[in-house]
Copies of this chain bind each other. A is one copy, B any other.
């Protein structure tokens, strides 16, 4: 049962009275090798349960078959979905995913990059932290000849391929959906102005208003700093204090929407009849909360799959050119929080 030392090519070569290289080639069914030799070696290998020493193989080929994956937060529905997709896809090609998190701190992100670099991943997938405005630590990978792909939270100026969700379209369709429900005074609780995704959603929101002749009003806009439930609650209260409160709110994230819902419940305002709500990200909580929350799904799993697939393609074929930007479409998931008119 427990073999002290694993069987090596050398062992099987010796036992079979052939050379190591013949054994090696036979196992790969190299065309030069005689059919019978191939059979013999393969049989022997199977019988003795030969497993090539991957560490040696990787050393020889100077690669690791490991892909680094850095996310801001691991314990986060969206990112764990992305990771899940990455892992499943990577597995198919025999790659492993090495996960690390930045906690949304630049310092941690840099450390994570260094660690990844040191442990010699073959390539990197990264979603940057909120503090990352400069990507030197990311470019180092490129310098070392290791391909990198950014996803979701990206640094636009970085000359590195990106897989993102079409936040603009998401913001647009969320807003349009509210308009379709007959809402006229649609507020938006936005993210930080310097975060790309947040800006795109805002742009989509504005465009939708514009396309439907609804004037954009600054009083219906709030900017989150930490994207928290508390902010949602507070901003909603501010909206309610307006002389002419909104009849709908599009929130940058489901968590913020949750705060909004809380505030409304506290005031006894009915959702969606008096005020309709749409979130973003389609977290687990969107279906759990009551009323269930209409949200924009970002296809996290798919994003993980796509990013990994492109990275591996590049890894296996140096000439493959990763498209500069790949935009995944969002999907509007309609639930109770926004549907004003039934039937």
Does A132 interact with chain B (Cβ within 8 Å)?
no
Given A84-B75, A258-B288, are A65 and B265 neighbors across the interface (CB < 8 Å)? no
- For residue A301, give the distance in angstroms from its CB to the closest CB of chain B: 8
- For residue A114, give the distance in angstroms from its CB to the closest CB of chain B: 10
Binds B, one of A34-42, A91-99, A244-252, A268-276: A91-99
Q: Are B99 and A99 in contact (CB under 8 A)?
A: yes
Binds B, one of A48-56, A184-192, A214-222: A48-56
- Per-residue CB contact flags for chain A residues 44-78 toward chain B (1 = under 8 Å, else 0) read 00000001011110110011111000000011110
Tally A residues with Cβ within 8 Å of B.
Answer: 53
- Copies of this protein, total: 2
- For residue A278, give the distance in angstroms from its CB to the closest CB of chain B: 18
When chains A and B are docked, how far (Å) is the Cα of A51 from the Cα of B117?
10
Q: Are A51 and B81 in contact (CB under 8 A)?
A: no
Q: Which of B75, B80, B91 contacts A115 (CB 8 A)?
A: B91
Given A1-B143, A143-B3, are A87 and B99 neighbors across the interface (CB < 8 Å)? yes
Measured between beta carbons, the chain B residues less than 8 angstroms from A58 are 55, 59
Which A residues contact B (CB, under 8 angstroms)?
A: 1-3, 6, 51, 53-56, 58-59, 62-66, 74-77, 80-81, 83-84, 87-88, 91, 94, 96-101, 111, 115, 117-120, 142-145, 229, 258, 262, 265, 284-285, 288-290
Return 13 A-B CB contacts under 8 Å, by A number. A56-B59, A74-B87, A75-B77, A75-B84, A83-B99, A87-B101, A96-B119, A97-B98, A97-B99, A98-B98, A284-B284, A285-B288, A289-B289
Q: Which 8 A-B pairs have the closest CB atoms?
A: A59-B59, A2-B143, A74-B84, A75-B80, A80-B80, A54-B120, A96-B98, A55-B59
